[in-house]
Amino acid sequence: MNKQIIVNLPVKDLEKSKAFFSALGFSFNPQFSNDSAAFMNIVDGTIHAMLTTEPFFRSLIDKPLVQAKEANEVVICLSCESREEVDSLIAKASAAGARIPHPPEDHGFMYDQGFEDIDGHLWNLVWTQQADGQGSSQAA
């Protein structure tokens, strides 16, 4: 079995969050989902998120729950295969209700832009150029 990354994210309204991320093209695995959590496939077989209702998330921790619209502990960075993929995902996120905190940043060898999802979690989308001049799926 390959190692996987599964990010657990608390959400205010599970159905609204599922609709938001579905609009970005992410899918959900019903086998690992219920009324309190939804297993979201970001990159099949390797990167996932478990969207959990806030009450369920609180049952997993022994500290206060950070309200992501007020403070952030992490920025989730996803690599993209092209500048166009960055722009496409940003457009989809914006249309689905995301806040876009800054314009795209183009450094020539790296292009990125971020969005804040409907629960306040920050996501950064990055394309980087490989040494041979080709696009890379490595995150910065």
Q: What is the pTM (predicted TM-score) of this model? A: 0.86
Q: Which has more confidence, 58 or 131?
A: 58
> Do 138 and 128 form a contact (C-beta atoms < 8 A)?
yes
> What does the pLDDT average to over 55-72?
93
pLDDT tens track for 95-139: 999 999 999 999 999 999 999 999 999 999 999 997 666 565 444
At residue 102, φ and ψ (nearest 5 deg) are -155, 155
